[in-house]
Amino acid sequence: MDKQKLKKKSIQSFPVTFEVNKRKTGAKKGRIAFITILSILMVFSGSLLYVWSRLRAVNLDYEIPRQIQLQRKLMQLNTRLRLEAATLKSHERIESIAKGDLGMVVPKRGQTVVIYNGN
């Protein structure tokens, strides 16, 4: 008895149910499409990101040895300049210039005054 009643009701309410399902299906399709597009975009952008990072890594693989080379060159230049400065600062050279070229002499006793520094 109850089963028959239910069957009748559902038949009566069919058109309404159909319309609801149709709307639902449309929304579902939209959602699926959205997810699909989003997924594709994500996969695409992920792939792009991956490729970009790989490219960047490869570029850095080239860049780092270049920079290391440059650093070594600059350090060498620095060492050379330090060496040149040390050579120019040699006491022997300075003394020969001071005495020979500039005619300077070592001050005699009494020509120098040690200033008391207060300590």
Partner 1 sequence: MGIKRIKWLRFRIILICIVFFSSFLAIFVKGYQLQVLKRDELYKRAYMQQRRNITQQPRRGNIYDRRGEILATSVDVKSIYAQPNRINNLNYALVNLARVLDTDPHKLEKSMVSNKSFVWLKRKVFPDQVEKIRKLEIKGIEFVLEPRRFYPNRELAGHLLGFSGLDSRGLEGIELFYDDYLKGKIGRFVVGRDGVGRNLFTEKGKDSFFDGGDLVLTLDKGIQYIVEKRLKKLVQKTRAKGGTVIVMEPQTGAILAIANQPDFNPNTFWSYRPSNFRNRAVTDTFEPGSTFKPILFAAAMEEGIVKENDLFFCENGQYEYHNKVIHDVKKYGWLSFKDVAKFSSNIGATKIGEKLGKDSYYIYIKNFGFGNKTGIDLPGERSGQVRSVRSWSNVALGTASFGQGITVTALQLVCAVSAVANGGNLMKPYLVKEMVDHKGQITGRMYPEVVRRVISEKTASRVVSLMEEVVKKGGTGSKAAISGYRVAGKTGTAQKVDTATRKYSKDKYVSSFVGFVPADEPRFSILVVIDEPKGVPYGGTVAAPLFKEIASEILYYLGIPPKVEIVKKESDHKLYAGSKVGRPLTDFVFEEDQDWNLEGRETLFPNFSGMTIRQVLKVAERMKIVIEIVGSGRAVDQKPKPGTIFEAGRKFQVKFQPSSA
Nearer to partner 1, 61 or 101 (CB): 61
Residue whose CB is less far from partner 1, 86 or 102: 86
- As a whole number of angstroms, the distance between CA 28 and CA 35 comes to 10
Contact 99, 105 (CB under 8 A): yes
| Gyration radius of the chain over CA positions | 45
Query: Closest approach of Cβ 111 to partner 1, in Å?
Result: 8
User: Can you give the binding site for partner 1, defined by CB under 8 A?
Assistant: 60-65, 68, 76, 79-80, 82-83, 86-87, 89-92, 109, 112-118
User: What six digits make up the tokens of 29?
Assistant: 């399709």
CB of 73 vs partner 1, minimal distance in Å: 10
Q: Considering the complex, state which of residue 48 and residue 94 has its C-beta at the smaller distance from partner 1.
A: 94
Smallest gap from residue 71 Cβ to partner 1 (A): 12
Minimum CB separation of residue 79 from partner 1 in Å reads 5
Distance CA 33, CA 35 (A): 5
Alpha-helix runs per DSSP H in 89-113: 91-96
Q: How far apart are CA 56 and CA 3, in angstroms?
A: 70
Q: Which is nearer to partner 1, 105 or 114 (CB)?
A: 114
